[in-house]
């Protein structure tokens, strides 16, 4: 029974006790002898009842009120209404002002029941208070590190914390009454500027449930498959207008929204690009399975299935837009969500982005906790971003003012040790980091062989890719004056350790030679989607020369296709776009039909690159051989003057 029902029952018992007390006072006026006896009984009852109110702290145990005081107390407890027989029926007024203190009343029949109700009420109130304190203090410690909160998935929650609700919402409050009803979603809110939503043909089904882990997958119905085939034809036409036309007919087609968002972003239309991604998120969330949960961390999606792949990509692009919008806390929550969908494989390698979002949102304890829990089975210290960012997190914690001097000293010492170990393990990250921070290093540092140019050129290609990604993304976090002084202090200590032949230096050198020979495919995919120029320049040739699409970058080699695209018939030149006709006029062997075999796709792309290179060389030679000759003028100057006259 709830506390509200218990209070209601208690009010009814008080009313019955009050009615019984009135009857007693009427009978006591008839006989004085019986009145003395009743006073003695009433005093005994009052002592018993006072113990009940001592239990909840609402009565004074030393006071022994008389009958008249009891009647006045009962009237006050019932909001000053006249105490009559009809007062039992007036229950609404008792509910509205039930927060007032009620003194002890006479009750003979329901004394035991009232005692039980008061004890239950006290237990409920205490349990509420304790649960509230535990929520504030230790709830976050008992939650999983990848726990996702629904309220943090809304960027308006973070913006309200920065600028206030009035600045964020604006005129939305007045428009909420006029807008139509739409499905309530957590990840995004339906906008009135969007087309009318109708189910595009995507659904989610439960594949299996094993050991508390539930595996889901998205599915496309037959109509959506036909739209998907038309989308692939539009992509191969190399004309974005075909995608726009397809999106007008199917406004919630996921891959079309993804591809058109990339086109708008390249044209520097960030608002439209972000709006298209939010529309895709809304379409996905409306097709969720009833059992699928965003916050439990026990739901899985297989990235090898193309239907699930689009959901990963939409979430990743949404994270990038949120971070650029100035909502790093919301972006961190979505990063946790993507990582929880497949924490073992991490197809988009969200661990390379997790530390950056934690530092941007000042969630230092979250980063340290993930590092400590996952270091045993994931070796996060072998990633440059975690090795450097965890040290920076300890440094920020040591700068807080609400900690004791002893704890401050411990955190500072911990940050120094971690930063020195990170610089010894990844010496090639120092000079590019200082360069992007526009800091001129000391001559003793720049001339030292340990941090010299040979260190950067001699590191393995996979390590160069990871270091370039971290430096290009996180260099803005190291620009504060205090952090640079802290970095300079530890760099000098590292040089001393190197000069004294510390065994840890040789150990890290051997690890760099044995590891980081080749990066896995998910790291290449992350670098391509992040579009950080410092990291993109370090990608191997087998990745850069491979043809890829924005709606499916570097698909897995073991992809699981639930349906296949039918073979295309050769179409005439009349159905081709202007760009394709231009290439066909220049290159007779140019063919836009994409082969099904992966090797044929690579060979066709290589042949196309060769033909384009030959064309560019021929055009360059033609332009170089063009000579402009001056006109031959006759020597008859008189004739020229006459003509001008």
What band does 69 get if pLDDT is binned at 50, 70 and 90? Answer: very low
- Cross-strand bridge partners of residue 301: 216
What band does 109 get if pLDDT is binned at 50, 70 and 90? Answer: very low
| Burial 607-641, CB ≥16 within 10 A → b, else e | ebeebeeeeeeeeeeeeeeeeeeeeeeeeeeeeee
**Angle of CA points 332, 337, 338, to nearest 5°:** 100
- Cβ atoms of residues 358 and 374 within 8 Å: no
Q: Would you state the torsion angle of the CA atoms of residues 217, 221, 227, 232, taken in this order, to the nearest 10 degrees?
A: 40
What band does 63 get if pLDDT is binned at 50, 70 and 90? Answer: very low
Task: Give the pLDDT confidence score for residue 429 in this predicted structure.
Answer: 94
Bridge-based pairing of strands 202-210 and 299-301 is unpaired
- 241: Cβ–Cβ under 8 A, 6 or more apart, which residues? none
- 554: Cβ–Cβ under 8 A, 6 or more apart, which residues? 521, 524, 525, 528, 543, 546, 548
Q: Tokens 């040789």 — which residue?
A: 506
What band does 526 get if pLDDT is binned at 50, 70 and 90? Answer: very high
- Cβ atoms of residues 4 and 118 within 8 Å: no
- Cβ atoms of residues 216 and 203 within 8 Å: no
User: How many C-beta atoms lie closer than 10 Å to residue 461's C-beta?
Assistant: 14
Residues in the chain: 645
Task: Give the pLDDT confidence score for residue 626 in this predicted structure.
Answer: 60
Residue 589 corresponds to which tokens in the numbers above?
Answer: 């062997």
What band does 80 get if pLDDT is binned at 50, 70 and 90? Answer: very low
Which is more confidently placed, 39 or 369?
A: 369
Q: How does pLDDT run across 194-224, given as a tens digit for each residue?
A: 998 888 899 999 999 988 899 999 999 999 9
- Cβ atoms of residues 33 and 8 within 8 Å: no
Secondary element (H or E) of residue 202: strand 202-210
Task: Give the pLDDT confidence score for residue 442 in this predicted structure.
Answer: 87
**CA nearest neighbour of 606 among 517, 542, 516:** 542
Task: Give the pLDDT confidence score for residue 45 in this predicted structure.
Answer: 44
Q: How does pLDDT run across 374-389, given as a tens digit for each residue?
A: 999 999 999 999 999 9
Q: Would you state the torsion angle of the CA atoms of residues 75, 80, 86, 91, taken in this order, to the nearest 10 degrees?
A: -100
Residue 111 pLDDT greater than 50, yes or no:
no
- Cβ atoms of residues 109 and 78 within 8 Å: no
What band does 257 get if pLDDT is binned at 50, 70 and 90? Answer: very high
Task: Give the pLDDT confidence score for residue 353 in this predicted structure.
Answer: 96
- Cross-strand bridge partners of residue 335: none
pTM for the model stands at 0.68
Residue 278 pLDDT greater than 90, yes or no:
yes
- Comparing 104-108, 282-286, 450-454, which segment has the lowest mean pLDDT? 104-108
- Bin 297: left if φ > 0, else alpha if -120 < ψ < 50, else beta: left
- Comparing 315-329, 410-424, 446-460, 559-573, which segment has the lowest mean pLDDT? 559-573
Residue 352 corresponds to which tokens in the numbers above?
Answer: 């390379």
> If you average pLDDT over each of 125-129, 402-406, 565-569, which comes out highest?
402-406
Residue 44 pLDDT greater than 50, yes or no:
no
Rg (CA), the chain: 38
Q: How does pLDDT run across 473-517, given as a tens digit for each residue?
A: 999 999 999 999 999 999 999 999 999 999 999 999 999 988 888
Which is more confidently placed, 63 or 358?
A: 358
Q: How far apart are CA 8 and CA 2, in angstroms?
A: 10
Q: How far apart are CA 334 and CA 328, in angstroms?
A: 10
Task: Give the pLDDT confidence score for residue 84 in this predicted structure.
Answer: 43
- Cβ atoms of residues 67 and 25 within 8 Å: yes
Bridge-based pairing of strands 202-210 and 213-220 is antiparallel
- Average pLDDT, whole number, for the chain? 77
Residue 462 pLDDT greater than 80, yes or no:
yes
Mean pLDDT for the stretch of residues 312-316: 96
User: How many C-beta atoms lie closer than 10 Å to residue 195's C-beta?
Assistant: 11
Which percentage of the chain shows pLDDT scores above 70? 63
Secondary element (H or E) of residue 209: strand 202-210
Task: Give the pLDDT confidence score for residue 518 in this predicted structure.
Answer: 87
Q: How far apart are CA 641 and CA 645, in angstroms?
A: 6
Residue 26 pLDDT greater than 90, yes or no:
no
Which is more confidently placed, 375 or 597?
A: 375
Residue 469 pLDDT greater than 90, yes or no:
yes
- Cβ atoms of residues 467 and 459 within 8 Å: yes
Which is more confidently placed, 196 or 606?
A: 196
**CA nearest neighbour of 103 among 66, 129, 137, 138:** 66
Q: How does pLDDT run across 120-172, given as a tens digit for each residue?
A: 544 544 443 434 334 444 555 678 888 898 888 888 888 887 777 777 666 55
Secondary element (H or E) of residue 433: helix 430-436
User: How many C-beta atoms lie closer than 10 Å to residue 476's C-beta?
Assistant: 12
Q: How far apart are CA 222 and CA 216, in angstroms?
A: 20
**CA nearest neighbour of 202 among 130, 283, 263:** 283
Burial degree of 373 (CB within 10 A; 0-12, 13-18, 19+): middle
What band does 645 get if pLDDT is binned at 50, 70 and 90? Answer: very low
Q: Tokens 């889901």 — which residue?
A: 216
Which is more confidently placed, 128 or 581?
A: 581
Q: How far apart are CA 433 and CA 470, in angstroms?
A: 9
Residue 72 pLDDT greater than 70, yes or no:
no
HSE, side-chain direction, 13 A CA sphere, residue 333: 19
């Amino acid at each position: 029974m709830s506390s509200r029902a218990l209070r209601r029952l208690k009010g009814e018992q008080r009313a019955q006790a009050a009615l019984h007390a009135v009857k007693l006072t009427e009978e006591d006026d008839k006989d004085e002898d019986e009145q003395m006896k009743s006073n003695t009984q009433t005093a005994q009852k009052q002592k018993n009842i006072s113990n009940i109110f001592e239990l909840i702290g609402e009565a004074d145990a030393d006071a022994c009120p008389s009958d008249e005081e009891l009647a006045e107390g009962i009237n006050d407890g019932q909001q000053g209404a006249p105490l009559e027989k009809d007062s039992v029926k007036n229950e609404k007024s008792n509910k509205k002002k039930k927060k007032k203190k009620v003194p002890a009343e006479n009750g003979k029949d329901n004394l035991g029941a009232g005692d039980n109700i008061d004890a239950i009420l006290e237990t409920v109130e205490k349990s509420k208070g304790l649960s509230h304190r535990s929520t504030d203090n230790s709830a976050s410690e008992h939650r999983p590190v990848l726990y996702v909160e629904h309220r943090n998935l809304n960027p308006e929650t973070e913006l309200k914390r920065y600028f206030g609700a009035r600045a964020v919402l604006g005129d939305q409050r007045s428009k909420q009454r006029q807008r139509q009803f739409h499905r309530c979603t957590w990840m995004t809110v339906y906008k009135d500027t969007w087309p009318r939503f109708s189910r595009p043909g995507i659904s989610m089904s439960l594949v299996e449930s094993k050991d508390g882990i539930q595996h889901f997958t998205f599915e496309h119905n037959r109509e959506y498959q036909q739209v998907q085939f038309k989308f692939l034809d539009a992509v191969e036409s190399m004309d974005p207008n075909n995608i726009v036309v397809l999106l007008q007919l199917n406004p919630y087609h996921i891959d079309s929204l993804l591809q058109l968002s990339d086109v708008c972003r390249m044209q520097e239309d960030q608002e439209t690009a972000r709006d298209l991604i939010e529309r895709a998120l809304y379409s996905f969330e409306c097709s969720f399975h009833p059992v699928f949960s965003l916050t439990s961390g026990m739901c899985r999606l297989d990235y090898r299935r193309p239907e699930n792949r689009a959901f990963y990509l939409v979430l990743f692009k949404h994270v990038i837009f949120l971070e650029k919008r100035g909502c790093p806390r919301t972006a961190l929550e979505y990063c946790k969500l993507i990582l929880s969908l497949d924490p073992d494989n991490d197809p988009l390698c969200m661990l390379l982005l997790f530390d950056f979002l934690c530092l941007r949102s000042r969630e230092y304890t979250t980063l340290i906790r993930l590092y400590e829990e996952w270091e045993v089975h994931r070796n996060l210290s072998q990633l440059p971003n975690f090795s450097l960012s965890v040290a920076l997190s300890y440094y920020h914690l040591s700068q807080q003012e609400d900690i004791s001097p002893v704890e401050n000293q411990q955190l500072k010492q911990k940050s120094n040790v971690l930063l020195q170990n990170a610089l010894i393990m990844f010496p090639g990250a120092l000079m590019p980091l200082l360069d992007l921070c526009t800091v001129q290093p000391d001559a003793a540092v720049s001339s030292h062989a340990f941090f010299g140019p040979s260190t950067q050129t001699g590191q393995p290609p996979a390590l160069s890719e990871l270091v370039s990604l971290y430096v290009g993304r996180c260099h803005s976090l190291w620009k504060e004056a205090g952090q640079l002084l802290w970095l300079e202090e530890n760099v000098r200590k590292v040089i001393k350790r190197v000069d004294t032949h510390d065994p840890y230096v040789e150990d890290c050198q051997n690890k760099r030679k044995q590891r980081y020979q080749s990066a896995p495919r998910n790291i290449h995919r992350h670098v391509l989607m992040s579009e950080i120029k410092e990291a993109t320049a370090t990608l191997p040739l087998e990745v850069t020369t491979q043809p890829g699409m924005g709606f499916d970058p570097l698909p897995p080699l073991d992809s699981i296709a639930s349906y296949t695209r039918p073979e295309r018939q050769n179409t005439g030149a009349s159905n081709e776009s202007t760009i394709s006709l231009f290439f066909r006029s220049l290159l007779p062997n140019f063919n836009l039909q994409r082969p099904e075999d992966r090797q044929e796709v690579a060979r066709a792309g290589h042949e196309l690159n060769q033909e384009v290179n030959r064309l560019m060389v021929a055009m360059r030679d033609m332009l170089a051989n063009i000579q402009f000759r001056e006109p031959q003028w006759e020597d008859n100057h008189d004739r020229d003057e006459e003509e001008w006259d």
